[in-house]
Amino acid sequence: MSDSAKNDSGSNGHKYVGTRQVRPDGVDKVTGRASFGADLHVPNMLIGKVLRSPHAHARILSIDTSKAEALAGVKAVVTRDDINDLPSEMVPAGEMMVNYRDITRNVMAREKVLYEGHAVAAVAAVSESVGLEALSLIDVAYEVLPHVIDVMDSMKPDAPLLHDGMITQGVEPAPEKPSNVAKRVEFAIGDVDAGFADADVIVEREFKTKPVHQAYIEPHACLASVAKDGKAELWCTTQGHFVVRGHCARLLGMDISKLRVTASEIGGGFGGKTVVYLEPVALALSRKSGQPVKMTMTREEVFRATGPTSGAHMRIKIGAKKDGRITAADGLFHYQAGAFPGSPVQLGCMCAFAPYDLENARTVGYDVVVNRPKVAAYRAPGAPIAEYGAECVIDELAKKLGMDPIELRLKNAAKEGTQTVYGPKLGVVGLVETLEAAKAHDHYKAPLGKHQGRGVASGYWFNIGGESCATLNMSEDGGVHLVVGTPDIGGSRASLCLMAAEELGIDLDKVHPHIADTASLGYTFLTGGSRATFASGMAVVEAARDVIDKMRERVAKMWDIPVDAVIWEDGHARPASSNAGAFEPMSLAEITAMANKTGGPLVGNAAINAQGAGPSFGTHIVDVEVDTETGHVEILRYTAIQDAGRAVSPGYVEGQLQGGAVQGIGWALNEEYVYGEDGKLQNAGFLDYRIPVCSDVPMIDTVIVEVPNPTHRFGVRGVGETPIVPPMAAITNAIEQAIGIRFNELPMSPPKVLAAIDASRGPLADAAE
């Protein structure tokens, strides 16, 4: 439980903001009533299934669907011919950009299949078993091509090319020959060479990470229904149904306004449900069959054809004076994008050294395509990879300098006014506060035993704002229907209701949240970038102020005094002072009950483009014990500390910290995509792609630091992404302390740890143990 939020009263004089409340959608979710992506059934519904490439890289010579179409019970078959070919055009999807030319090829392969699992055709049939039989009747003729899986192999001059004619962007002069390098990015401040010349100690290391999947428990699922007049409805599990609407309409050549998308409850996303896979295919099948079509992915399809985040290869070099002042930092990053350009390498370059106030820094990144599924955003996309390398080097630097790693970080910590490598100066941030909290925590002073070690790392993520609408529909009984457009992925309904109740001054149980479909609310960007509580929260506050002003106007009319003479306080309209007149305060319920007599329905609206998102810093402490017989690394104790700005709903902020930490533990110790020489994924299931289970981890202690974001009414920063940034380096640093071996590759799985221990032991070491 958080040290900062043990009581049930709100923080900073708030009645609700900062309290622990049962979430409004909670009962539905503990009783099985909540409806997730695969839970909808409609009359006359068909089942859609996807035929996927068995090859890592092949040219499609022909697709013959005639036998499948002839099978009884098959109502439609679609291929590349049923999805629009689109020119190159970049559009936002979460923190990452996507290219329509690529999306259309990713949802249905056109010229080539670019990874094992790439969609080639799809069928809609009266049952799943008929659909599966139909898939087996589709004949695809392939010309198999050489493939490339590893990022460094893919950059070699003789590597097989995924995209004919792809010229590296960001290089001057532009290369004449095509390659698998989609883009080079560079950020720099100061003079890195001079900084290293000034350094007393320099540490330079190379690191490798493997792709890891978001591994949300709910597979992708949707249900599409297209009417004969072209109007269409889509139900799907997504982090952003307005984004899905835009993508699907474009891919199918529909008017955006003819497609209404409803977001189901979403069973986890972590960035992976910000793009479309099945949705356009289901719409195409429904359009062709004239019947509703439901599609769900198997877990195997989720692993082979969606996400993951990049694997990477990087080199990090940091120099410092003897007193610990960092003089220069340099990073070179190669990120796998998967089959299409668009890894989060640019974000990695921006975040790599963000926890430090540096005069001289440079980051260079390469976005590299390989024959793997196209990467999707995963929780602070790009940052955990780059910051893992940087935070390992910082730890090694501290050891060389003989400094405590928290002291080294404090000496160089980013703070208000710090010049970032990517442009702006930081506003008010709370890194120092998290480091001080870590230093003061009893965890940091607890004794350690044999083969046990403690590691620390910090992490940074920007957080974003963006388009959000909110509507507050006032009922005649004083209830408030709060309508927003950001799917609730981890308890945001609760936070938004708390903010609405606080601002309106009414009881929390009067506020009823609803996630509107795309026809029922103005455009709202997706839940991602840790923006839902920040940006939709900002819209909710604005909508509350809008309806408060309207209620003040109604009351001013009734009292026959100027509106300025009516104030809103504790959920009541009151005279501003005794000079305004002697009127009994009117409650919100009284005002809304009379709405039809005072001017009609009362509704509060806000349509904003939220600005001023507050970056979030975190610092994690972890204790490990290494079993030198098996190579198994046990997490003994874990403390995640983060600046939340203001924790509106502390229980769910703690949950974000705990969940992020445990995903990071998986990334550090076990999770990886394993490919064979044939370019095929070998562990496309939860048995072999092993995410942490309950018995793998201890309780995850949290400390919520609150350095309010000055641009938000309640001080909110996003919290969801930063917690996955520090764990990998913190665990690496802890293992080094435990057994004296510094790993530079993830995951640090038992076979690798054991091999390193064996290699470090002399032939007689076992006898000496």
Partner 1 sequence: MSRTKIHVATTVNGDAVEFLCEPPQTLLDVLRDELHLTGSKEGCASGDCGACSVTLDGRLVCACLVLAVETTGHSVETIEGMADGDNLHPLQQKFLEHAALQCGVCTPGFLVAAKALLDVEADPSETQVRYWLAGNLCRCTGYDKIVRAVLDAAAEMRAN
Residues at the site binding partner 1, with contacts judged by CB under 8 A: 20, 22-23, 25-27, 29-36, 38-39, 41, 127, 129-130, 133, 214-219, 265-270, 296, 298-299, 489-491, 651-652, 654-656, 658-663, 685-687, 691-697, 699-700
Name which of 219 and 571 has its Cβ closer to partner 1: 219
Return d(Cα 606, Cα 545) in angstroms, integer. 9
Separation CA 732–CA 395 (nearest Å): 10
For partner 1, the closer of residues 78 and 489 by Cβ is 489
Closer to partner 1 at the Cβ: 492 or 737? 492
Cβ atoms of 258 and 231 within 8 Å: the answer is: yes
Nearer to partner 1, 342 or 666 (CB): 666
Please state the φ and ψ torsions of residue 638, each to the nearest 5 degrees. Answer: -145, 130
HSE (side-chain half, CA atoms, 13 Å) at 269:
30
Residue length of the chain:
769
Strand-by-strand arrangement of the 58-64 sheet = 112-113, 58-64, 139-144
Closest distance of CB 126 from partner 1, Å: 10
Which of 171, 185, 197 has the alpha carbon at shortest distance from 359?
Answer: 197
| 129 vs 682, beta carbon nearer partner 1 | 129
Contact 125, 134 (CB under 8 A): yes
Smallest separation (angstroms) from partner 1 to the CB of 296:
7
Shortest Cβ distance from residue 18 to partner 1 (Å)? 14
**Residue number with CB closer to partner 1 (106 or 238):** 238
Please state the closest distance from residue 268 (CB atom) to partner 1, in A.
Answer: 4
Name residue 141's amino acid. A
Q: Give the span between the Cα atoms of 620 and 639, in whole angstroms.
A: 6
Least separation in angstroms between residue 22's CB and partner 1 is 5
Cα torsion for 421, 427, 429, 431, to the nearest 10°? Answer: 30
Nearer to partner 1, 180 or 296 (CB): 296
Q: 362, 187 in Cβ contact below 8 A?
A: yes
Q: Are 213 and 308 in contact (CB under 8 A)?
A: yes
**Residue with tokens 């290219």, as numbered in its chain:** 99
CA of 195: how far to CAs of 198, 328, 330, 358, 431, in Å? 5, 5, 10, 10, 24
Q: Could you tell me the CA-to-CA distances from 60 to 81, 111, 243, 373 in Å, in that order?
A: 13, 6, 30, 17
C-alpha pair distances (Å), 639 with each of 459, 473, 621, 624, 647: 14, 42, 5, 12, 17
Name which of 200 and 300 has its Cβ closer to partner 1: 300
Residue 589: CB minimum distance to partner 1, A: 26
Q: Which is nearer to partner 1, 26 or 479 (CB)?
A: 26
Cβ 501 to partner 1 shortest distance, Å: 18
* Minimum CB distance to partner 1, residue 477 (Å): 22
